[in-house]
Amino acid sequence: MASNKDLIAEATELAAELNIEITTDDLNNVKLAALVSDLKAKKKDADTVTQADEVVESDKVVKPAFYVAEGKAITSLVGILSGTVEADEKYVEVIEKDLTGEGTLDRLVKLGSVVKS
């Protein structure tokens, strides 16, 4: 087993690399060895890039071309479309056919009821 002096030096060096403050006062050889072991594990964890650290492409949210704005609702033949229901192509079709007049979708976008991605 290493001496207390060696363990203190190693713990201080590892703490400096990890940018953390430690105190080695009143620690015996067993506690110093445990401290050094913990610091080595933290350094290894900091150096290792895990799968959880990486950004996964599938985690990105892809919004449809049009969707109902948050806090808004549109009444249609299929029911009430609210901000929690995304207006995909089917809903855009329903909105266009259900409401009278041309350019209904454009009007809803200008009113802020429907958001264009």
Read off the pLDDT of residues 71-103 as tens digits, 9 standing for 90 and up.
888 777 677 777 655 555 566 666 656 555 566
Dihedral in degrees, nearest 10, Cα atoms 35, 40, 42, 45: -160
Q: Which tens digit of pLDDT belongs to each residue from 31-55? A: 889 999 999 988 888 777 666 656 5
pLDDT of residue 52: 61
Query: Strands 73-76 and 66-68: what pairing?
Result: unpaired
Spatial contact of 68 and 113, defined as CB atoms under 8 Å apart: yes
Look at residue 83 in the predicted model and tell me its pLDDT: 65
pTM: 0.44
DSSP states along the chain: ---HHHHHHHHHHHHHHHT-----TT--HHHHHHHHHHHHHHHHHHHSPPGGGSPPGGGSPPP-SEEEPTT-EEEETTEEEETTS---HHHHHHHHHHS-STTHHHHHHHHTSEEE-
pLDDT, one tens digit per residue, over 2-14 is 888 898 999 999 8
Confidence label for 18 from pLDDT (cuts 50, 70 and 90): confident
